[in-house]
DNA sequence: CTCCTGTTAGTTGTTGACAGTTCACAATGC
DNA sequence: GCATTGTGAACTGTCAACAACTAACAGGAG
């Protein structure tokens, strides 16, 4: 017998996920104006239900409220990318240090290595590769054993995905060569927290610069 | 003439603020069950309006959803306090470093010093002193110039306040002696990022341990 | 032509009501 | 007595409708 307690999913959560993925995949571009009535019709739910989902996305930093409460999709500029990545770096280096201090160190590093391999195997598939990259960094935070850290990192995930989308997937992909991640893992194996932090910080800064530059160029082109 | 554009405040935001302060001041204790219908009656607003405010508090980490979506006030245990403070330390040390790298360094440090003085003047007034302490640390993040950092720190503020409330104000107060903050400022003046980070981390860890211990004792007493 | 004023369509804020689910407790059959 | 089955109260999920506000446009007075 295999009668499992079946999952109950609220319409609110479905809206939330649908909207979130629509935004993070670029279906709905930054700056786009979201009209409650239109969206609720499109989803086939009431406005109240949709509103609760939108409030959440607002707090996640995917939406911003303009004048009179009108929500639109967040636009992230080159300065903010740098800000985001500084905070992100701080969190992930903490995670790496915490992992190094644990008794299950080896096992955790192995799991990270597995994820890095998976990334290498996906070479060529853009969206899946990005997914795997985010997965790697999320796993890093997860394995730290500090749930608050993971949750905090997650609040950055939305904006980061918008960055990647805005900058263009090809450009973002340069940051995700599996080889780069192997270097991080190697550093962790050496049990040297400071060096690991340095490698990770370096990795992050390069990524941030590349993304920031891409957004900057776009802004310039926009001007003309 | 002094006709200023008058502020428009939605009922949702009023609910939000009222509820948040009710929780962070301990009027509503951790574990307490929030019933939508009761609360909406108490505030004199409809459930829909209230729900949007509650969803937000949920994401801020002040409320948790139990079975069947029932929201109750978050209970924070001694382990989580340590987790929170590790992340908090990471963010605040980053802030301190960023401030030290800025050209307006001196001016910013002066503002921090002013806030620390204010704290010293409030000696004796429990709640205001806590407010001043939170203000000091928020200012630190603010002056970093990294808005993402500030916003991220803010997501920890709610849970931190619950900790302080749960552990008891007197106990928390030990962490807030103005003299301790002066030491941080002195380190910043020396323009030594690493030393500043160390002092700050030290300050945080002591605070975390004290709070964690208090919560731990309470849990023990509960058992009996 | 310009300025001002209704007027209307579009959008969010807010509400009250209905439906579905769960828990506690009484009633029933063995 | 004990397990099982109604039964009702308590809550949350969801919805449709109303109210308030805004911006844009059309039309008339000067």
Residue B89 lies in a domain: yes
Q: Tell if the CB–CB gap between B94 and A94 is shorter than 8 Å.
A: no
Strongest mean pLDDT among B66-80, B148-162, B182-196: B148-162
* A91 and A197 within one domain: yes
pLDDT band, very low/low/confident/very high, at A190 (cuts 50, 70, 90): confident
Strand partners, B33: B72
Size of interface A-B (CB pairs under 8 A): 74
**What is the Cα–Cα distance from A58 to B28, expressed in whole angstroms?**
26
Report chain A's C-alpha Rg in angstroms: 19
CATH code for the domain in which residue A127 is found: 1.20.120.530
* B206 and B111 within one domain: yes
Partner A, chain B 90-149, Cβ-Cβ below 8 Å: 90-91, 93-94, 98, 146-149
* B212 and B101 within one domain: yes
* B60 and B149 within one domain: no
pLDDT band, very low/low/confident/very high, at B28 (cuts 50, 70, 90): very high
* B208 and B120 within one domain: yes
pLDDT band, very low/low/confident/very high, at A2 (cuts 50, 70, 90): low
Residue B5 lies in a domain: no
Is any Cβ of chain B less than 8 angstroms from the Cβ of A17?
no
pLDDT band, very low/low/confident/very high, at B194 (cuts 50, 70, 90): confident
Residue A24 lies in a domain: yes
* B208 and B147 within one domain: yes
Residue B6 lies in a domain: no
Residue A2 lies in a domain: no
Mean of per-residue pLDDT scores for chain B: 91
CATH code for the domain in which residue B50 is found: 1.10.10.10
Q: What percent of chain B has pLDDT over 90?
A: 71
- For the cut 70, the answer to whether the pLDDT of residue B99 exceeds it is yes
Q: Region A45-66: what's the mean pLDDT?
A: 95
Express each pLDDT in B61-98 by its tens digit.
999 998 888 999 999 999 999 999 999 999 999 999 99
Please report how the helices A47-60 and A147-167 are oriented relative to each other, as an axis angle in degrees rounded to 10.
90
Domain boundary among the residues B30, B47, B73 is at: B73
Number of domains in chain B: 2
Half-sphere exposure of residue B176: CA atoms within 13 angstroms, side-chain side: 30
- Are the C-beta atoms of A95 and A171 separated by less than 8 Å? no
Closest to B165 measured CA to CA, from B17, B22, B24: B24
Nucleotide nearest to A15 in CA–C1' terms = D14
- For the cut 60, the answer to whether the pLDDT of residue A195 exceeds it is yes
Select from B36, B65, B152, B208 the residue whose CB has the most chain A CBs within 10 Å, as the one to mutate to test that interface.
B152
Q: Tell if the CB–CB gap between A52 and B51 is shorter than 8 Å.
A: yes
Q: How far is the CA of B69 from the C1' of C9 (A)?
A: 38
Instruction: Spell out where chain A has E strands.
Output: 33-34, 63-65, 71-73
Q: Which helix (H) or strand (E) holds B169?
A: helix B169-173
**What is the Cα–Cα distance from B151 to B148, expressed in whole angstroms?**
5
Residue A6 lies in a domain: no
| A90-93: long-range contacts, CB 8 A cutoff, minimum separation 24 | A90/B90, A90/B91, A90/B93, A90/B94, A91/A141, A91/A149, A91/A152, A91/A153, A91/A156, A91/B87, A91/B90, A92/A137, A92/A140, A92/A141, A92/A153, A92/A200, A92/A204, A93/A196, A93/A197, A93/A200, A93/A201, A93/B90
Q: Is the dihedral of CA A180, A182, A186, A188 positive or negative?
A: positive
**What is the Cα–Cα distance from A172 to A163, expressed in whole angstroms?**
9
Taking the mean position of all CA atoms in its chain, how far away is CA A210? 16
* A52 and A163 within one domain: no
For B212, the token pair is: 């964690």
Contacting residues for A88 by C-beta, under 8 A, at least 6 apart: A153, A156, A160, A204
Is any Cβ of chain B less than 8 angstroms from the Cβ of A56?
yes
Domain boundary among the residues B57, B73, B89 is at: B73
* A101 and A120 within one domain: yes
**What is the Cα–Cα distance from B10 to B1, expressed in whole angstroms?**
27
Express each pLDDT in A92-121 by its tens digit.
999 999 999 999 999 999 999 999 988 888
pLDDT band, very low/low/confident/very high, at B5 (cuts 50, 70, 90): low
* B135 and B35 within one domain: no
- Are the C-beta atoms of A46 and A184 separated by less than 8 Å? no
Q: What percent of chain B has pLDDT over 70?
A: 96
* B28 and B122 within one domain: no
Express each pLDDT in A7-32 by its tens digit.
788 999 999 999 999 999 999 999 99
* A102 and A57 within one domain: no
- For the cut 50, the answer to whether the pLDDT of residue A1 exceeds it is no
* B31 and B90 within one domain: no
Nucleotide nearest to A55 in CA–C1' terms = C12
Q: Which domain holds residue A58?
A: 11-73
């Amino acid at each position: 017998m295999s009668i499992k307690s079946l999952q109950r999913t609220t319409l609110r959560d479905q809206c939330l996920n649908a909207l979130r993925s629509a935004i993070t995949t670029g279906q709905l571009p930054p700056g786009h104006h979201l009209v409650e009535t239109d969206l609720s019709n499109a989803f086939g739910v009431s406005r109240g239900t949709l509103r609760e989902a939108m409030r959440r996305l607002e707090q996640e930093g995917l939406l911003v409220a303009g004048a009179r409460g009108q929500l639109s999709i967040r636009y992230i500029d080159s300065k903010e990318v740098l800000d985001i990545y500084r905070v992100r770096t701080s969190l992930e280096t903490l995670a790496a240090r915490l992992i190094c201090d644990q008794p299950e160190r080896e096992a955790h590093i192995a799991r990270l290595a597995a994820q890095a391999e998976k990334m290498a195997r996906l070479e060529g598939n853009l969206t899946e590769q990005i997914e795997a990259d985010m997965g790697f960094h999320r796993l890093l935070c997860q394995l730290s054993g500090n749930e608050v850290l993971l949750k905090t990192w997650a609040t950055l995930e939305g904006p980061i995905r918008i960055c990647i989308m805005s900058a263009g997937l090809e450009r973002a992909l340069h940051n995700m060569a599996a080889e780069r991640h192997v270097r991080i893992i190697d550093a962790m194996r050496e049990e040297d927290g400071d060096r690991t932090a340095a490698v990770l910080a370096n990795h992050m800064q390069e990524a941030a610069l590349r993304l920031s530059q891409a957004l900057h160029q776009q802004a310039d082109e926009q001007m003309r």
